[in-house]
């Protein structure tokens, strides 16, 4: 049997759920490899993927005998068959953080089931990566480091945020990536004080800080890295802030390992920033995998612990409104007794 579906069945059983209706395309791809539109049905007896006529051949070519997944056309499955999928199932799970209320009502009516929340069961499975997933993320991170090295040569006085962002996308696409993990953030000068700035026509000028947050996808898996670099020189007033951010990023890297408290790691940064009259205004980080932002979310409200083979972002940042922002971020592999940064671009002052 498909190993990921087997694990899912075990997790569902532990919370008294006998079947599940899965519509989130990311979760479907994770469990089956299928990238076409449809619904995955996990029943007590079998696994069924319902799709549209136009996708049937593609889906059938993806699914193997070992997956034990029945592929069917929506139009060939009668109303009675839909209602019989979950015979003798008291509780059927659904994706409470993906399904809208309207979709919830539709699924409940179509399959005649008692729908219950699954407590992010699939997302929790996705949080711990297998060796193939880790290799894909490593490849994405290697491309991200290569892109950064390229940008150090490409960025010149007069280049705009939009031009740099476009160049990032072109580099990834030309060098083997599936595409972007997310739209790149390129924020020059005062714009870097906005953590989620959208690239504009602002040009690079002498002494500007340039915050670049970028990542790519490789075989469906993401990278995420931020560096703040400087044009020509770094102003003296910026150095203590940069040093504080880098110190905390390196310090928390030393704390990241299996069973480390997410809350405690986040509080280390929050407390040190507070002592220096700054605030961490966003989460310290997040999980990375098939999506750029996944479980676990690294903040001081999260009482859970890191696990071996999780992949997370560590991204402390300080932002001075109207002046500048500094953020340093790496993609990190959590291990039993330590961690390994998967993005390895320079983090000390980079002046171009």
Question: CATH number for the domain including 274?
Answer: 3.90.230.10
pLDDT digits (tens, 9 = 90+) for 12-57: 999 999 999 999 999 999 999 999 999 999 998 899 999 999 999 9
Q: For residue 274, tell me if it sits in a domain.
A: yes
Q: What is the residue range of 11's domain?
A: 3-126
- 330, 342 in Cβ contact below 8 A? yes
Sequence-distant (6+) residues with CB within 8 A of 290 are 26, 29, 30, 126, 220, 221, 222
- 336, 257 in Cβ contact below 8 A? yes
Which pLDDT does position 212 carry in this prediction? 98
User: Quick one: 112 and 260 in the same domain?
Assistant: no
User: Quick one: 238 and 264 in the same domain?
Assistant: yes
- 225, 215 in Cβ contact below 8 A? yes
Residues 281-284: contacts with CB under 8 Å, at least 24 apart = 281/195, 281/317, 281/319, 282/195, 282/315, 282/317, 284/252, 284/314, 284/315, 284/316
Least confident of 78-82, 204-208, 291-295: 78-82
User: Quick one: 75 and 138 in the same domain?
Assistant: no
User: Quick one: 169 and 23 in the same domain?
Assistant: no
User: Quick one: 75 and 148 in the same domain?
Assistant: no
User: Quick one: 96 and 187 in the same domain?
Assistant: no
- 307, 290 in Cβ contact below 8 A? no
User: Quick one: 160 and 101 in the same domain?
Assistant: no
Check which CATH number belongs to the domain holding 105 and give it: 3.40.350.10
User: Quick one: 275 and 200 in the same domain?
Assistant: yes
User: Quick one: 263 and 335 in the same domain?
Assistant: yes
Compute the distance between CA of residue 327 and CA of residue 32 in angstroms, rounded to an integer: 37
pLDDT digits (tens, 9 = 90+) for 255-278: 999 999 999 999 999 999 999 999
Q: For residue 329, tell me if it sits in a domain.
A: yes
Q: For residue 346, tell me if it sits in a domain.
A: no
Q: For residue 352, tell me if it sits in a domain.
A: no
Q: For residue 351, tell me if it sits in a domain.
A: no
pLDDT of 182 higher than 80? yes
User: Quick one: 24 and 137 in the same domain?
Assistant: no
Which pLDDT does position 45 carry in this prediction? 87
User: Quick one: 190 and 277 in the same domain?
Assistant: yes
In three state form, how does the secondary structure of 241-300 look? HHHHHHHHHHHHHHHCCCCCEHHHHHHHHHHHHHHCCCCCCCCCEEECCCCCCEEEEECC
């Amino acid at each position: 049997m498909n190993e990921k579906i087997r694990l899912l069945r075990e997790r569902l059983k532990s919370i008294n759920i006998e079947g599940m209706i899965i519509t989130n395309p990311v979760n479907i791809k994770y469990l089956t490899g299928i990238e076409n539109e449809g619904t995955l049905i996990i029943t007590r007896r079998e696994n069924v993927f319902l799709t549209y006529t136009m996708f049937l051949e593609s889906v059938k070519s993806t699914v193997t005998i070992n997956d034990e997944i029945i592929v069917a056309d929506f139009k060939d499955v009668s109303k009675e068959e839909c209602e019989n999928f979950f015979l003798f199932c008291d509780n059927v799970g659904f994706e409470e953080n993906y399904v809208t209320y309207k979709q919830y009502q539709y699924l409940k009516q179509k399959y005649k089931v008692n729908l219950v929340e699954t407590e992010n069961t699939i997302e929790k499975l996705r949080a711990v990566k297998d060796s193939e997933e880790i290799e894909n993320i490593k490849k994405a991170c290697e491309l991200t480091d290569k892109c950064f090295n390229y940008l150090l040569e490409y960025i010149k006085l007069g280049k705009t945020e939009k031009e740099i962002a476009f160049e990032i996308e072109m580099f990834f696409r030309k060098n083997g990536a599936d595409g972007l993990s997310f739209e790149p953030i390129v924020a020059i000068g005062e714009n870097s004080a906005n953590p989620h700035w959208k690239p504009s026509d602002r040009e690079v000028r002498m002494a500007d800080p340039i915050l670049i947050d970028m990542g790519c996808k490789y075989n469906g898996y993401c990278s995420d890295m931020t560096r703040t670099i400087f044009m020509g020189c770094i102003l003296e007033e910026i150095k203590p802030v940069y040093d504080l951010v880098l110190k905390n990023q390196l310090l928390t890297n030393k704390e990241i390992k299996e069973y480390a408290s997410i809350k405690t790691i986040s509080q280390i940064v929050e407390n040190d920033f507070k002592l220096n009259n700054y605030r961490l205004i966003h989460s310290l980080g997040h999980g990375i995998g098939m999506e750029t932002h996944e479980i676990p979310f690294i903040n001081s409200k999260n009482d859970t612990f890191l696990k071996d083979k999780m992949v997370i972002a560590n991204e402390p940042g300080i932002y001075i409104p109207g002046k500048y922002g500094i953020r340093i971020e790496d993609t990190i592999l959590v291990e039993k007794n330590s961690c390994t940064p998967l993005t390895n671009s320079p983090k000390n002052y980079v002046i171009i």
